Structure 1
């Protein structure tokens, strides 16, 4: 009996997940989150080798690059603090518009770096790279935080953990796609460990694609973090579990919405 009950619970949870994903209020934001991450091409490998290049690059040591990345992680912390205390109450669509735009435009600082304009303005490489990486991490965190909150609001009651894990797997596929896309661009532009003639073009393509998701913002609801996004119909009916079954008490959801859904 216990095995049959567990099997039925899994079937009901699967039906609930499929029903939720078919809702436009859910698959639209999921598609936007995936494309927003996938189009942010990851070309860090090419930039890393450019940082250590002794001819056209700053000629940093590998230890120096690691130290710079460690310091610039403060930018991610600042982004989380800024979101928590200044931006968390804004509507998702408006917030994602500005964070995505700033994220794309901030990438242009890499063009200043690879063109060596910072040296013409008297800004040392170490100092400028720390600024560039810190801003990149801060804007990336500002872009990611509202998507994380939005993901939590897309989870139907009763299967919150399972559905949130599904949404996070979509995000991971987006990051993997960005890594593949960045590697493909570096390969097509013939950027290697010692050849960086087209590194500026890779940066430009990356920045343009970072801004591209702005045309897909119609997929994101205008709601804010205090609004309900899922359809009014409760998803609990799809995964109803009898609370009186004490043998399976560990399978009963411990979280119930205040409105009784």
Structure 2
């Protein structure tokens, strides 16, 4: 059977349209999706960084927790990057140069980790700069998506957000397993060298962005822009004086800021249980998929449930299920005849699903708190506040680890750390009335994905 060339062309166009969710695959869209993909694929060095800090720099669990809190700082000041990009164009361009610079900065940070970094302070600076690189590129690409969304219908704008989130998720899933497998065959320095290649993609695709330089008239309007910024700052200040905004924000901050035991558990998994990097990578891959399942469950069954109900139950269930970690920490699973690997995997999958279900209302609530006129800026500011809670979580976790005497080899009190951190997640429950009541919520909620590191 012969197929006419025009018919074949239509089939190809239809397939391409489905892949890009109805968006024409032009150069700028490819550049935007590449940036999101790179953000996801940088997880390639996630395990390498942890093993580098633990085995080569000999950091303790508490020290690693503090370091992870410090390097998250760029994600707390993201709105500043937006103001700088908008207000201080480079050679007349607001987007391209900043994306180029962020790529160069990220590559330099990973190369330094592969070559000259031999102390904890140098590692902190290098990892901080890599985090800064991703945060800046995230702000730039988000602004590009916003600019494109203005000219599109609500449905097209939503599909563009889904496309971007999907590109990041694909990058993350690809590297989830590879991050562990590479460490089985190569040194951490080699993994850093490989990772350094990806930020350079940002510098390359930046030239695909269709951006016109600022005209003289635009430069002359800087004073007008400054007045607009002052007006925006005043709107933000007025917004945060409203109880309907700052009370839910305070609740989420408390919820996010409870102590974390992640660093101690990583040391326990590798030094006590002797989990190999490849297995840890496999766990990360499966928990990433489990997180997607959690997103689907929320979207399919839970998105219309009042905030107070879903936060209350998800917090209680997460704390209860989190106590199952005690079975692994005390080696009770071995008494029950359950292998450490299988128990850890099953526990991680369940907690990942619950964790994602608990976190999805945060995104919905943050979007709903933003008043008209300052939506983008206030949303970025809220995300920065939530990310700063992560720094508090790491710091408080480090203090408790130090108090309990938990080190890279001493896990006698790890069970107590697990109990403390799980019970601390219940601390926000008395403040549930800070969240909007059911009657204050609209009947339907529109959820659009957003970028969060550590947040």
TM range (shorter): 0.7 to 0.9
Change (3 A) 1:225 1:78: farther
Q: Distance in 2 between matches of 1:189 and 1:136?
A: 25
Q: Deviations over 1:83-104 (max 9, x none)?
A: 0000000011111101111111
Partner secondary structure for residue 123 of structure 1: coil
For residues 376 and 270 of structure 2, what CA distance do their matches in structure 1 show?
43
Alignment of 1:65-80 (within 5 A): 65-80=280-295
For residue 205 of structure 1, report the CA deviation from its aligned partner.
0.3
| Counterpart Cα distance in 2 of 1:4 and 1:38 | 40
Matched, 1:91 2:306: yes
- Of structures 1 and 2, the one with the larger relative CO (CA 8 A, separation 6+) is 1
SS in 1 for 2:426: helix
Hey, what does 2:329 align to over in structure 1? 114
Greater share of helix: 2
Match of 1:44 in 2: 262
Poorly superposed stretches of 4+, deviation over 6 Å: none
**1:147 CA drift (Å):** 1.2
Aligned partner of residue 135 in structure 1, secondary structure: helix
| Ranges in structure 2 where 5+ consecutive residues have no aligned partner | 1-219, 445-455
Tell me the alpha carbon deviations over residues 220-257 of structure 1, each in whole angstroms, 9 at most, x when there is no partner.
111375269xxxxxxxxxxxxxxxxxxxxxxxxxxxxx
Counterpart CA distance in 1 for 2:266 and 2:230 is 47
Give 2:431's match in structure 1, choosing from 200, 216, 219: 216
- Conserved 8 A contact 1:69-1:130: no
Quote the offset at 1:76 in angstroms: 0.9
Q: What do you get for the CA RMSD once the two structures are aligned? A: 1.6
Aligned residue for 1:166, secondary structure, equals: helix
How far 1:141 moved relative to its partner?
1.0
Q: Does 1:182 align with 2:401?
A: no
Kindly provide the CA deviation profile for residues 140-164 of structure 1, in whole angstroms up to 9, marking residues without a partner as x: 1111101110000111111110010
Aligned to 1:31: 250
1:165 corresponds to which of 377, 380, 398: 380
- 2:442 maps to which of 226, 243, 247: 226
* Partner deviation per Cα, 1:119-146 (whole Å, 9 max, x = no partner): 2222221111011111222111111101
Pairing partner for 1:142 from 348, 357, 376: 357
In the alignment, is the contact (CA less than 8 A) between 1:89 and 1:225 conserved in 2?
no
